[in-house]
Copies of this chain bind each other. A is one copy, B any other.
Amino acid sequence: MSDSFFEPVSGFDLPRFAGVPTFMRLPHVPLDDPRLAEVQVGLIGTPWDSGTTNRPGPRHGPRQLRDMSTMIRAQNGATLVRPFEMVNCADLGDVAPNPADLMASMDRITAFYDEILAAGIVPLTGGGDHLCSLPILRALGRNTPLGMIHFDSHTDLFDSYFGGTKFTHGTPFRRAIEEGLLDPQKVIQIGIRGTAYDSEDRDFAAAVGVTIIPIEEFHARGPEDVMVQARELVGETPTYVSYDIDFVDPAFAPGTGTPEVGGPNSYQAMLVARLLKGVNIVGADLVEVSPPFDAAGGTAYLGVSIMFEMLCNIATNIAGK
């Protein structure tokens, strides 16, 4: 049971368009807040996009995700789960990046998550670009390599860009595997598609044992079947879930920097998150929402709808322990 302090403001008390917009209308509990110790699931923004190699904007993602998240109510329409009554949730605020210093920003992110983990909080992150996942994994996977279920149109397993640049939003999981933060045998990447410069990423995946589900296979098998495989692959392993919004077709999620045509629809996009049920999630993110490319906010609204599905599964796990 959660403490009522940690429940969202109801739309019946304060209409959903009103109020200071925190994630899902939860209380804002900064790291120095005395009640931090009571938080079980922390929603965090990583407003940073210095790893972006093409169209920028995800630094504005957390702000817009918070804004649209005030549309989310208390109960899951499909599963009837009521996560905010099950565990203490809070908006922990944003990590402060240095937009002009990539390496320093990664260190700041890792430090922030170290504090959260020390407090026993499961982090649910709204990005930022996909490079954000690397410094988060440096905190979460420091001691033991994690499994990962990864929804994306890109593998993000490239070695380098622009003649040797090692840290971009196309390389985080190559680095994470090299650094021992992820167990490649327990990593599955779902939805991969789009044109490529070459197959270097897929060759690496094959070499280290990462499982790739291309979009053609996803469409042929359907989300339920693919998610059975994903759950079986990670089993009981502590697992990170990384969800790049460009997994979804750009008609449903135009607000992203590197869209790839031909992805899942919004129902499938939510369903795969719902089908994470039972996975031992130690952290999750939803990244690459880029508000300048979708001022109307539909992408962010889909993003927070997915985050809510993740949250329901995380809360169910915690409450069931």
Contacts and interface: CB of A to CB of B under 8 A. Distances in A.
Given A75-B195, A80-B199, A262-B266, 9 more contacts: A14-B96, A18-B96, A19-B93, A20-B22, A28-B28, A55-B60, A56-B292, A57-B292, A261-B266
Contact of A197 (B21, B74, B254, B269): B74
Contacts of A73: 194-197
A33 interface: no
A215 interface: yes
Interface in A77-122: 77-78, 80, 91, 93-94, 96-102
Interface string A274-316: 0000000000000000001111101001100100100000000
A97 B15 contact: yes
Say which size band chain A's interface belongs to: 35 or more
Interface of A: 10-22, 28, 45, 47, 49-57, 59-60, 62-63, 66-67, 71-78, 80, 91, 93-94, 96-102, 161-163, 165, 167-168, 192-199, 214-216, 219, 249-252, 254, 258-263, 265-267, 269-271, 292-296, 298, 301-302, 305, 308
Contacts of A214: 77-78
A194 B13 CA distance: 20
A142 to B, nearest CB: 24
A263 B305 CA distance: 13
Given A17-B55, A93-B19, A193 B78 contact: yes
A171 to B, nearest CB: 10
Contact of A194 (B59, B77, B168, B293): B77
Given A12-B162, A47-B15, A66-B20, A76 B251 contact: no
Contacts of A305: 261-262
20 contacts: A11-B197, A12-B162, A15-B54, A15-B162, A16-B54, A17-B47, A18-B59, A18-B62, A19-B94, A20-B28, A20-B91, A49-B56, A50-B100, A73-B194, A74-B196, A75-B195, A250-B301, A251-B298, A262-B271, A294-B296
